Amino acid sequence: MKYLSSLIIVLKGLWIGGTMTVPGVSGGSMAMILGIYDKMISAINGVFRRPWESLVFLAKVGVGALVGIALFSRVMLHLLTTYPMPTCYFFMGAILGGLPMILKSAQITRFRLSYLLCLVIGILLVLLIGQLPEGLFAADLSQGISAVLLQVLAGVIIAVALVLPGISGSQMLLMLGMYQPVMTAISNFDLLALIPVAIGGLSGTLLSARLIEKAFERFPQATYLFIFGFILGSIPEIYPGVPSGGLLLLCPVMAVLGFLAIYGVSRLEDQKAKK
Name 129's Cβ contacts closer than 8 Å, sequence gap at least 6: 167, 171, 172
Model-wide pTM > 0.75:
no
Assign 141 a pLDDT band (cuts: 50, 70, 90): very low
What's the pLDDT tens digit per position in 38-55?
A: 888 888 888 888 888 888
Torsion of the alpha carbons at 186, 33, 35 and 31, rounded to the nearest 10: 20
What's the pLDDT tens digit per position in 195-248?
A: 887 888 888 888 888 888 888 888 888 888 888 888 788 788 778 889 888 899
Instruction: Specify the higher pLDDT residue, 96 or 74.
Output: 96
Instruction: Specify the higher pLDDT residue, 192 or 61.
Output: 61
- 64, burial (CB in 10 Å: exposed 0-12, middle 13-18, buried 19+): buried
Q: Is the pLDDT of residue 114 over 80?
A: yes
pLDDT at 251: 93
Q: Is the pLDDT of residue 252 over 90?
A: yes
- Own/partner long-range contacts of 100-105 (Cβ < 8 Å, ≥24 apart): 100/263, 100/266, 101/33, 101/35, 101/263, 101/266, 101/267, 101/269, 101/270, 102/32, 102/33, 102/224, 102/227, 102/228, 102/231, 103/224, 103/228, 104/270, 105/224
What proportion of the chain, given as a percentage, has pLDDT over 90? Answer: 5
Single-letter amino acid, residue 260: L
Residues 31 and 186: their CA atoms lie apart, in Å, by 21
Single-letter amino acid, residue 195: I
pLDDT at 256: 94
